[in-house]
Amino acid sequence: MQKPIGVNQAVIAIWATLALSAIASLINTWIEAISLWEFTFNLLVYGLLCIIPYKINNRSNAARYVFLIFFIISILFLLAGMGTEIPKLDLILSIILIPVEIFILYRLFEREASEWFVGR
């Protein structure tokens, strides 16, 4: 079975969100909203998160559930007010990316994609 177009779209969107987050961290460093250590830590985290789209692209069913769990945790932190100490750019980007991440989840969990992930 060929990889569904929706999975390709989701993987590209995940890469884009990671790139936007890394750029936001760079801008936060330039405007001194975060320290160089925090910037380095952020890049390490984004580097580790690059495993998710790679694994999804390679038909890892577990990776799409990991993405779902990370999305739920990030929404809970955002709603719980954990965003009061993060830079405003990160908060704005988090809010803007919510619809993109919902689109990613929709494309990863639609019927055609689900069949592709489990139908080896």
Secondary structure class of 6 (helix, strand, coil): helix
Q: What is the mean pLDDT of residues 70-93?
A: 84
**87 token code pair:** 């830079």
Query: Is 120 a residue whose pLDDT tops 80?
Result: no
Q: Are the beta carbons of 12 and 110 closer than 8 angstroms?
A: no
Position 86 confidence tier, pLDDT thresholds 50, 70, 90: confident
Spatial separation of the C-alpha atoms in residues 99 and 41, rounded to whole Å: 26
Q: Between 42 and 120, name the one with better pLDDT.
A: 42
Position 80 confidence tier, pLDDT thresholds 50, 70, 90: confident
What integer best gives the mean pLDDT of the chain?
Answer: 92
The Cα-based distances of 94 to 77, 78, 110 in angstroms read 11, 8, 24
User: What letters, b where the CB count within 10 A reaches 16 and e where it falls short, cover 11-25?
Assistant: bebbeebbeebbebb
The Cα-based distances of 11 to 40, 81, 98 in angstroms read 24, 29, 16
Write the pLDDT tens digit of every residue in 90-101.
Answer: 889 999 999 999
Write the pLDDT tens digit of every residue in 25-43.
Answer: 999 999 998 999 999 999 9
The pLDDT value recorded for residue 50 is 97
The pLDDT value recorded for residue 82 is 64
